[in-house]
A and B are shown apart, each in its own frame.
Chain A
Amino acid sequence: MIRVLFFGPVAERVGARQLDLPFRAGLRWQDVRDMLQPRYPDAFALVSIVAVDGERVRDEPGPPLSDRCEIVFMSPFSGG
């Protein structure tokens, strides 16, 4: 299982704070984005930061996701 989390304005546009997706070996975070982006285009239009298991990732080939990992698609931060 892959847990996808959303916060702030992205969560509002998705209409949920969490989605669970089935795990498949070899899956990368970009595959998850490509699955979800067409379903939530307005939400993903805001996304500029992605974290996997609490670490920010770059949009380049990284290691495949592990089972029970956590991906967060985030808009620019606005704390403070």
Chain B
Amino acid sequence: MRDPVRLQQEGFSQDEEIRALRAESKRIGGIASFLGCARDFSGEGKVGAIDFDAYLPMALAELQKLRAEAIERFGLIGARIVHRLGNIQAGDDIVFIATAAEHRAPALEACRWLIDELKERVPIWKKEIVADGEMAGTGDQ
């Protein structure tokens, strides 16, 4: 089974991640997920792609810490976080988070908490590439 926390260039399968999560326990009563996608627009205009750069050792360590914190804080049964790096075309997937709990409320709350904390704490940077070539900005929202 693949690591539940990953930084990778290639795409991911939401189905595979959910399947891996479900395989952890039959106590799971609810799974919440968040899928972040590359928008084709920003305040600067049309976006063709987004480049993601990361300080890899720290980013991975911070994601693993976040997952452990979420499991502890929300009493999760399991959680998975996959973030892509490199050049991601508009419309493609960027990040996937899935959280599993006995009940829906902690799964949903943990999922929201994880993506908010990821944006604050994980050393990853985006650069939007406008459709005709150069950088638009960080476009963070």
Interface residues, chain A, CB within 8 Å of chain B? Answer: 5, 7-9, 11-12, 49, 51, 54, 72, 74-80
B140 interface hit (Cβ, 8 Å): yes
Interface residues, chain B, CB within 8 Å of chain A? Answer: 36, 52-55, 57-59, 61, 83, 94-95, 115, 118-127, 138-140
Top 8 A-B residue pairs of the complex, sorted by shortest distance between their CB atoms: A8-B125, A79-B124, A78-B140, A78-B138, A80-B119, A8-B53, A78-B126, A54-B58
A7:B119 contact, CB within 8 angstroms: no
Give complex CA distance A78, B122 in Å: 8
Given A79-B125, A79-B126, A7–B53 Cβ distance below 8 Å?
Answer: yes
A7:B52 contact, CB within 8 angstroms: no
Least CB distance from B80 to A in Å reads 15
Least CB distance from A51 to B in Å reads 6
Given A9-B138, A54-B61, A80–B124 Cβ distance below 8 Å?
Answer: yes
**Residues of the B chain whose Cβ atoms lie less than 8 Å from the Cβ of A78:** 119, 124-126, 138-140
**Residues of the A chain whose Cβ atoms lie less than 8 Å from the Cβ of B139:** 78
**Residues of the B chain whose Cβ atoms lie less than 8 Å from the Cβ of A79:** 52, 54, 59, 83, 95, 118-119, 122-126
